[in-house]
Homo-oligomer: A and B are copies of this chain.
Amino acid sequence: MKLASLKSASRDGTLAIVDRDLSSAFPALESGFATLQSVLENWDDAAPALETTYRALIQRELDALPLKPDELASPLPRAYQWLDGSAYLSHVERVRKARGAPMPPSLYTDPLMYQGGSAAFLGPRDPIRLPDESWGLDFEAEVAVITDDVPMGVTPEEAAPHIKLVMLVNDISLRNLIPQELAKGFGFLHGKPGPAFSPAAVTPDELGDAWNGAKIHLPLLTYRSGTLVGHPDAGEGMQFDFRELLAHAARTRPLPAGTIIGSGTVSNPDAGRGYSCIAEKRVIEQIESGEARTPYLQHGETVRIEMFDRSGRSVFGAIEQDVWP
């Protein structure tokens, strides 16, 4: 099934069940659940009831409302936890190569992951507010999963059934604030003002055999102001799959229901598949010509992130955000 949250007076939005084409919506409240967070905290009870409604919706048995993307919040408009990995090592390798830093062997066995701000996510069509273009605004196109309650110390195998929903992310980065921030040693704060997620979060079965239980084998498309700049396959080059990222996150603490785990910027070893963030493009330019020529996002530009299944249907709907002063 596919779930979305409509903007409402509540900071948690209003949960809706949406059809496969994201063209119509039916309120989940009629199945007894007002918010996605409440569904995740009661998944075993909630999911069968919502699935029943979803079947009726896609068979046009319900009196659904037309769905307008502008009316959507992120599936979880806010969350108690957002942890973002960096599982695509070709991304990490390129960024380090540009500054002449070797790849420590531990990066091949120990995932990178940061604790991100989760108190207020942008909606999939919300503008990105950029007071100062010199901050170096970049997009990062990623995949993310949402969990139910994950016990502390799970193995990757034990973690797998806790993946309840999948969605896309634009992990917004302020590149020119990051070097000084990371040099202080305590991770990201100013440099990661908060991501936006795709219109829908979907159960893994919606992905068919493109989902192998731990990653998605489909291209992730990123457009900058209308031009396709990347189409890497999210199933290639993912050194740590979502089961492994969950187990890593849960090593010293349980992960409460509603925890979102991101993949990191999707990137393939084949540079011909383009890029999912401007920084990687600039790094390749730096390596090839000694100069990074592609600018970061300017006021008035747009970023669009989307993924299509093998039948050509948009799985999650598109993240599409303008950059505003």
Contact = CB atoms under 8 A, between A and B. Distances in A.
B187 A114 contact: yes
Nearest to A194: B253
A210 to B, nearest CB: 29
B80 A118 contact: yes
Given A78-B80, A131-B153, A188 B253 contact: no
State the oligomeric state as a number of copies.
2
Given A11-B256, A131-B153, A253-B194, A119 B81 contact: yes
Interface in A173-190: 174, 177, 180, 182, 184-190
A112 B106 CA distance: 26
A173 to B, nearest CB: 11
A194 B249 CA distance: 13
A83 B114 contact: no
A119 B78 contact: no
Contacts of A221: none
A193 B119 contact: no
Given A135-B252, A174-B252, A193-B252, A117 B81 contact: yes
A46 interface: no
Given A41-B11, A83-B189, A252-B193, A115 B112 contact: no
Contact of A187 (B115, B129, B252, B259): B115
